[in-house]
Structure 1
Amino acid sequence: MGIVAFNWAREGNNQLTLVMNRDNWGNRVISKASWDGHILSGRYEDSKGTWFAISKRGRVAFLMSRTLLDDDIVPFRGSEFYPSAFLESNMSPWEFAVNVQRERDIQNKLSYSLIVADMASNSMVHIRKPEKDEPNVMIGILPSGVHTLSPLHGLDSEIAVRDTFLRDRFTQMIGHLGNDPLPQLNEFASNYMLSPVGEGQETVFVEEMANHPDLDRALGMQRYGTTSTTALVVIRTGEVKIFERYREENGQLTENNLPDFTFQDN
């Protein structure tokens, strides 16, 4: 389903710095990020769910899901509807997490890690349902610092090489960000997140042909791989700078020209 590295900072110029790869099966048509009212997100065209969303109200949500990794998507149901639901609500991140936790009885066969954050209140919460067949939904306030998120290993894995390698590289990169962070983020996103060559080490880019996991649909061999990279920085002034490169249906990687924007009070 992908991987995320992000820095949630209590102090300094940048409140949130993030890079994210989305990986999916080739049978899925997924739109580039675009505005729908006050919400910016990409969408699964068949279900209208999303893995990342940010609003002009200063709310952010992003998702990693084992269910989506298995391409188990049901229209209008699933963890991929939680990002938009949070952005459209007036609940605090903690209130939203408690509400999701109460819904555990309707989350059968779902497995996900979800981050919801409100920039104005400086609040970020992690919502985790690790097992598809277990009802437990765990919630917790996220401390400041550098974190990773992935579909199989959740938050801040110390055992997954892909997660630890990205965290190390991302930490090095953000240590050199200056007053104009987007060029360095763009370079990191383009030259590392989208690079199939890991410079002799583990890479986070995915590109392979494999049997589709849903045997009932008999889709056979499909491409599974990285189809978009997002880089984002939220400056404490409320200004948001965002970069996206996405894979078109012909396989070409294209930059999505998203202008900077500033959070609004309502």
Structure 2
Amino acid sequence: MEGNNQLTLLMNRDNWGNRVISKASWDGHILSGRCENSNCTWLAISKRGRVAFLMSRTLVDDDIVPFRGCEFYPSQFLESNMSPWEFAVDVQRERDIQNKWSYSLIVADMASNSMVHIRKPEKDEPNVMIGFVPSGVHTLSPVHGLDSAISERDIHLRDRFTQMIGHLGNDPLPQLREFASNFMFSPVGEGQETVFVDEMANHPDLQLALGMQRYGTTSTTALVVKRTGEVKIFERYWEENGQWTENNLPDFTFQDN
């Protein structure tokens, strides 16, 4: 990005009601929210200046195997010493073990200003594509990947985010909060379409007899990384009792090691 900010990210987590997701918290040098039954994550950032975030059709279908799956890649990248490209090549080599997975994963290193997209579009095909992500405004879809021009939801999100990003000043978090409030975590937009999801439906895995339950947005995260290495972040998350709570996370600054 141009200007004062190196990275500005807004992300919704959508999942089934049976999947308990913790609020973001620190585990050593990594900040992330975790799926309680598998300890996996979809968005993580480290004090070393590494960021990873995941969108996955496998997760949308709630097809999760404990201790294995694409949802473990974000933590693996943050814990590794590989560059984003080296990590992407390593994941690509593992394509033969990725049967039934479909995902789009972004891994980034702020110190080297490098961001890579890792994409496995089809569950039943071993093709894993990798490529550098250029600077600019992008969207990431669990079904259509990076910069989808197919989904109206993704197109609308990119257009709204592009409009908002041009007005961000030296302290973008208040504007991000307002944008998230009106668009990302509001079931009803103020005269605008929203990307928030909230519905009752039958769980996709009928063999587990999980039945009718909520499928929808369970967290909204806004993340700002300044060129100085300062990080601002806030999260609004869904508690098991059905209440929405804001997670007051303090600012922090990237460390050299």
Fold-level similarity (TM above 0.5): yes
Among candidates 17, 32, 54, match of residue 8 of structure 2: 17
Aligned residues: 257
Return 191-200 or 64-73, whichever deviates more. Answer: 191-200
**Partner in structure 1 of residue 65 of structure 2:** 74
**Partner in structure 2 of residue 237 of structure 1:** 228
**Partner in structure 1 of residue 83 of structure 2:** 92
**Partner in structure 1 of residue 219 of structure 2:** 228
- Where in structure 1 do 4 or more consecutive aligned residues deviate above 6 Å? none
Matches within 5 A, 1:139-158: 139-158=130-149
Cα RMSD for the two superposed structures? 0.8
Instruction: Name the % identity.
Output: 89
Alpha carbons 1:161, 1:202 under 8 Å: kept:
no
**Partner in structure 1 of residue 171 of structure 2:** 180
What's the CA shift for 1:191? 2.2
- Matched AA of 2:219: S
Matches within 5 A, 1:21-100: 21-100=12-91
Separation in 1, partners of 2:169, 2:132? 28
Q: Secondary structure at the match of 1:246?
A: strand
Separation in 1, partners of 2:137, 2:110? 17
Separation in 2, partners of 1:170, 1:44? 28
TM-score, normalization: structure 2? 0.98
CA deviations over 1:192-241 (Å, ceiling 9, x no partner) = 20111134553200000000000110111010000100001000000000
What's the CA shift for 1:188? 1.1
Residue 137 of structure 1 pairs with residue 128 of structure 2: yes
Structure 2 gaps of 5+ residues are none
Alpha carbons 1:242, 1:260 under 8 Å: kept:
yes
Q: Secondary structure at the match of 2:18?
A: coil
Separation in 1, partners of 2:165, 2:193? 19
Structure 1 gaps of 5+ residues are 1-8
**Partner in structure 2 of residue 163 of structure 1:** 154
Separation in 2, partners of 1:198, 1:62? 25
Q: Secondary structure at the match of 1:216?
A: helix
Matches within 5 A, 1:189-228: 189-228=180-219
